[in-house]
Structure 1
């Protein structure tokens, strides 16, 4: 009787250990299922679609495997390179000004002065507004006939006639960049401000005792300590900006012609305007590969930061 009890107790103990070892993984199952269903499956389906010839004419029929033909066709399309160039310009300009202005504001709001919490909260309004509202507001501000931008520029004597900022090929992309900069500044400011507030104060006090001015402190204390935060912010900013679709679609829809067509707009036009679904899927996968390369670069740079 005692032996049976011992055996039974051992089995219960092993079962309890097995359950406790897998118990933590059970909490991950809902998130894992969500990722597989809503991220993994669409990505896999889009990948398979890019290797097939699917369009509006054979949507319900049998789809033949054509290998890399869609990718080769995309790489031979001059519109693809125009969209790639626009994406690069849009991303670089947006990230540069978002980060620069956001860093300046973070340094400013890191100072102690009355009302800084109120002004800091007001700065978040640009980030909290839906992109549809922000894009519509900037579309109105930059319009040629009744835009407030043209009104002030004419009042200051900078221009003589109204400029159709979003309807001219040489200014359409710039207009979307300005709107995206305005949207992204608060996010950069908050992330950088949180990093600045975590820096040790005794380093600045020691630097002051050594006679270092604010510029020297910023160069030799703030920037080196902020490198991990800056690196994460820039990589996230590049990824989020490179795949911006809604703002540009609201403001210009990629026009005029291809002046503001970025890769997400180009993929959308192929899939839902010309109804070349496989061709649009190949452009989407090229975008995905570009972002994967950027992520790998980030991981290598972050690993070097950890070694330091």
Structure 2
């Protein structure tokens, strides 16, 4: 018993000594690597929890209720009823191809995203390859191509709305002068051309953003790889396929994620250009969600739509990562 009491006393003494030693280190601002990591990560994680994860969690919870946010009607738990409401009724394929409301907005968003992003990627890669060469005025050209991307989206939308105007727009005037059109054409007033006009604008605006990201990736590829390939007699096309593209995959992944997710969640351009019209031809998912939530004050269905948008965006990001991410490239 005496030995056990003495051992217990010694153990408590050692624990007190460790605590005092730790407190002394903290007073002298001396931390272990693990402690320093916790200290540095805590503010970031707290910020993400407060600004990102809590709103997402609150939106998911709100999608299960009616009368969400504003208590216009008593708040009532309805389960998945809001999701059933935005889904509608009928076969899935028929809903996607011919449905209105949520399905029309999803169709517009997918067309807008997966038509514009590949074209932007090709144009951006071409611009990046040109800007990666040495020529006089190279740095001025690099700054100049960022001008379309630097214009705020809503301002850009209003500028192009004036240019595409069917009565006094510059685009119509130029096309009539060169003989392509005989009379003004209402590009933004017709459902069959409004979406194509919006695609043209977003490609013009964001191809330079793709070029900027890809240019950074090109400049990180060592020159000695190209020198060795030239010594082996490889053509420029062969160098591009065997050196440039494989080593550019991590940058392509970043560029595609950074561009695809904002394109799928587009709001400013359709809102400022056409307001979603004509006949909902340019209503994207986020714009539809905005109209549903703040124009119709249907917060439950708005939260359900926002949840679906988040899940689709997450799925797109996971497909990109699973397809393009190659740790061994690094």
TM-score, normalization: structure 2?
0.85
- 2:221–2:247 Cα contact (<8 Å) kept: yes
1:48 is aligned to: 61
CA contact (8 A) 1:87 1:263 kept: yes
Higher Cα radius of gyration: 2
- Is the 8 Å Cα contact of residues 125 and 210 (structure 2) preserved in structure 1? yes
List runs of 5+ in structure 1 lacking aligned partners.
none
Question: What does 1:23-102 align with in structure 2 at a 5 Å threshold?
Answer: 23-54=36-67, 59-76=71-88, 78-102=100-124
Instruction: Tell me what 2:7 maps to.
Output: none
Secondary structure of the residue aligned to 2:65 is coil
For the residue of structure 2 that corresponds to 1:48, the secondary structure is helix
Partner of 1:111: 133
Distance 1:27 1:241 in 2: 33
Render the CA deviation track for 1:243-288: whole Å, top value 9, x for unaligned: 0101110001110111111111111111111111111111111111
| 2:3 alignment counterpart | none
How many residues were matched structurally?
304
- Tell me what 2:273 maps to: 251
In structure 2, distance between residues paired with 1:181 and 1:155: 25
SS in 2 for 1:27: helix
Whether 1:191 and 2:229 are equivalent positions in the alignment is no
C-alpha distance in 2, partners of 1:34/1:7?
A: 34
Deviation at 1:183, TM superposition (A): 1.9
CA distance in 2, matches of 1:189, 1:180: 14
Give yes or no for contact 1:55–1:275 (8 Å, CA) kept in 2.
no
CA contact (8 A) 1:270 1:280 kept: yes
Q: How much is the aligned-residue C-alpha RMSD, in angstroms? A: 2.4
Q: For residues 191 and 7 of structure 1, do their structure 2 counterparts lie closer, same or farther at Cα, with a shift above 3 Å needed?
A: closer
* TM-score of the aligned structures, taking structure 1 as reference length: 0.91
SS in 2 for 1:165: coil
CA shift in 2, pair 1:150/1:7, >3 Å: closer
Partner of 2:252: 230
* CA–CA distance in structure 1, aligned partners of residues 257 and 64 of structure 2: 30
1:285 aligns with 2:312: no
Measured in 2, the distance between the counterparts of 1:48 and 1:10 equals 45
The change in CA–CA distance for 1:114 and 1:260 in structure 2 (over 3 A counts) is same
CA distance in 1, matches of 2:132, 2:324: 26
Deviation at 1:36, TM superposition (A): 2.2
Gaps of 5+ in 2: 1-9, 89-98
**1:302: how far off?**
5.0
Distance 1:224 1:35 in 2: 34
Q: Secondary structure at 1:35's aligned position in 2? A: helix
Query: What is the CA deviation profile of residues 12-65 of structure 1, one whole-angstrom value per residue up to 9, with x for unaligned ones?
Result: 224438954433322333333322222222212211111112279x82453111
